Amino acid sequence: MFKSIFTNSFGILTSRILGFLRDMLQASILGANIYTDIFIVAFKLPNLFRRIFAEGAFSQSFLPTFTHAKQKSVFAMRVFVKFTTFLLLFALFVTLFDNLFAKLIAGGFDDATIKAAAPLVAINFYYLILIFIVTFLASLLQYKNHFATTAFSTALLNIALITTLLLGKGLPKEVIIYYMSYGVIIGGILQVIVHVIAAKKLHLMKLIIGGFQNRKKKKADVVEDEKRFKSTFFASVLGSSTAQISAFLDGWLASFLVAGSISYLYYANRIFQFPLALFAIATSVAIFPKVTRYLKHDEHQKAHQMLKKGFWFLAALLSLATVTGIIFSKEIVWLLYQRGSFGAQDSTNTAMILSMYLIGLIPFGLAKIFSLYLYATHQQKKAAKISGISIGVNILLSLSLIKPLGASGLALASSLSGMVLFALTIKEFGKAEFFAIIKDKYAIYLIGGLIITIALLLYIKELLSAYL
C-alpha cells in the first residue's frame, strides 16, 4: 500500500512544485488583477472537470464495473467512444456560444470583461477532451497497478504553462493569457502521449484495439455493465467532488466582489489543494483498487484494515499540514507569491483566505478515505446525496458570509461544508466501524504529537518575527 502511496505522492509533489513555480511566475508577471481573473475564469471549467475526472470520480465508477465485466475490452471501449463523442460535441457547442459560457462561469463580470474572456473559455475547454482520454487510460493503468505515469504526467501541463509564461514575459497581459491558454492544450496533448506510451508497454493497446473492433459485435454482452456504470457515474461525479465544486462556486461568487478577489481565492486554494492532493488523493487512488478487489472476494476484514491504515496515515499528515499552514499562512504566501506585480496587501488578503480554507483540510481529506467504501460497494448514490447536502450547506453559508467577510467568508463556508461532508460520510460508513478505527493507541500519539508540534511551530514563528 505504502509503495503505491509514495509513488502517487512523489509524482503529485513533483507536479505541485512545478505548479507553484508556475503560480509564482503568474503572480509576478500578471499579478492579482482583471487579466489574471480572466485566465482563471477561462481555465476554471476544464480545470474543475480535470480534478473531478482525474482525482477519482471516473475511476470510482469505472474500475468496479470494469473489474466485474466479462467483456472488459468491449465495455471499456464503448464507454470511451461515447464519452469522447459527447465531449467533442460539447466543446464545439461551447465554441459557438463562448460568450454565454463565460457569463455562466463569471456572472459578476461586466460585458467588456465577458467579451474578453469568452474566446479563452472556448480554447481552454478543449483540454477537457484531452484530460478525459488521460483519465480513461489512467484507469486501465490503475487496474494493472501502475500509478507512476499518471502521478507524474500533470507536471507536463505545468511545464507547458511555465514555458508560455516565459515566452510571453514582457508582452501585454492580454496577449500573455492567450499564450497560457494554448499552453493548456499543449500540456494536455503531452499528457495523452505519455499515457499512450505507458499503455503500450503494459500491453493494454491490444485490449483497446480489440474492444474497438468488437464494440458492436458483442454489444449485448456488456449492456448490463454499461447500465451499472451509467447508474453510478454521475453520482460519483457529485459524490467525490465537493471540494472542487465548492472552489468553483467560490470563484463564481467572487466575480461579484472587487477585482482581484478571484485571484486571491485561486492562489489560496492552490496551496490548500497541495496537501489535499499530496496526501488524501494520492492515498485514496493508491488503495481504491485493492479495497475494490477485497470486497469483490468478500474479504471485508482486509478492506477495513486497509481503510484503517489509510485513516491514521492521513490523520497524522493532514493534521500536521493544517497547523503548519495556519500558523505560517502569511510566510507561505509571502515566500510563494510576493514579488513583481503581487504586493504586500495581496499577500495579506491571500493568507487570510488560506487560513479559512485550511480549517477544512482534515474533514475533506478524511472524507475521501471513507467514501471509498461507498464507491467500492456501489453506493455512489448515497455518496452523491451526502455531497449534495454539503454543497447546499456551502451555498447557504457562502451567501451568509460573503457580505461580512468577503472572499474569506467564501473560503470559511467551504471548510464548514467539508465538516458536514465528513460527518455524513461517517454516518453512512457506520459509526460503530468508525469508532472501532479511532479507538487505537495511535490516537494518543497523534494528540500528543500535535501538541508538541504546535508549541514548536509557535516558538519558531516567534523567532522568525524577532529576526525578520
Q: Which of 87, 99, 8 is nearest to 50 (CA)?
A: 87
Q: What percent of the chain has pLDDT over 70?
A: 85
pLDDT digits (tens, 9 = 90+) for 413-468: 989 999 999 999 988 888 888 887 777 766 666 666 777 777 776 667 666 665 55
CA distances from 384 to 79, 85, 289, 368, 421 (A): 21, 25, 20, 13, 10
The mean pLDDT of 98-109, rounded to a whole number, is 78
pLDDT digits (tens, 9 = 90+) for 335-362: 888 877 788 888 899 999 999 999 999 9
CA 258 to chain centre: 26
pLDDT of residue 433: 81
Instruction: Reply yes or no on whether the pLDDT at 35 is more than 70.
Output: yes
Instruction: Reply yes or no on whether the pLDDT at 34 is more than 70.
Output: yes
pLDDT of residue 164: 92
DSSP string, 331-352: HHHHHHH-STT--HHHHHHHHH
Burial of 96 (0-12, 13-18, 19+ CB in 10 A): exposed
Residue with the three cell numbers 467525490: 240
Q: Supply 389's cell numbers.
A: 447536502
The mean pLDDT of 16-38, rounded to a whole number, is 79
- Rounded Cα gap, residues 150 and 134, in angstroms: 8
- Rounded Cα gap, residues 255 and 260, in angstroms: 9
- Rounded Cα gap, residues 233 and 242, in angstroms: 15
Q: Supply 186's cell numbers.
A: 499543449
Instruction: Reply yes or no on whether the pLDDT at 303 is more than 60.
Output: yes
Q: Supply 304's cell numbers.
A: 477495513
Is the overall model pTM greater than 0.85, yes or no?
no
Q: Which residues contact 370 (CB under 8 A, 6 or more apart)?
A: 307, 311, 425, 426, 429, 434
Q: Grade residue 4 by pLDDT with cuts at 50, 70 and 90.
A: low
Q: Grade residue 244 by pLDDT with cuts at 50, 70 and 90.
A: low
3 state SS of 259? coil
The mean pLDDT of 289-312, rounded to a whole number, is 76
pLDDT digits (tens, 9 = 90+) for 123-160: 988 998 998 899 889 888 888 878 778 878 888 999 99
pLDDT digits (tens, 9 = 90+) for 174-221: 888 899 999 999 999 999 999 999 989 988 887 877 777 776 666 666
| Residue 130: Cβ within 10 Å count | 22
Direct distance between the N- and C-terminal alpha carbons of the chain, in angstroms, rounded to an integer = 43
pLDDT of residue 261: 81
Q: How many domains does the chain have?
A: 1
| Residue-range definition of the domain harbouring residue 144 | 2-467
The mean pLDDT of 277-282, rounded to a whole number, is 76
pLDDT of residue 250: 75
